[in-house]
Amino acid sequence: MPDWRVVRATLIHESLYDLNGSKVLEGENIWKVEILERTCACSSISNLYVVEGYVSASTGEILRIEKKLVSEINYDKATCSNTVCH
């Protein structure tokens, strides 16, 4: 459902770490693109389907893509779209 989805892109100018804290790249300008979608519209903390991609800002090359199912508690209120999860 579109109301359960959040898409955001962040330009990163320094070392890049993934959701697990592992270093992905160092010293390159990279776009971090996140697509997060709730598993349900319930008012409690839920799980999120997460697709996280890293794209070189200079070449447009896709550097890495990860997909996970994680607890919503790992993200800030801005990721909650139109729901009342926090």
Domain count, the chain: 1
Q: Is residue 20 pLDDT above 80, yes or no? A: no
Residue 30 confidence class, pLDDT cut points 50, 70, 90: confident
pLDDT at 71: 81
The three-state secondary structure class of 36 is strand
Encode pLDDT of 32-81 as tens digits. Answer: 999 888 777 666 777 888 899 989 888 999 988 999 888 877 665 555 54
pTM: 0.64
Is residue 22 a part of any domain in this protein?
yes
| Residues 17, 33: Cα–Cα separation, whole Å | 13
Residue 86 has pLDDT above 50, yes or no: no
- Measured in residues, the chain has a length of 86
Could you list the residue range(s) of the whole structural domain that residue 56 is in? Answer: 2-76
Quick check: is 84 in a domain? Answer: no
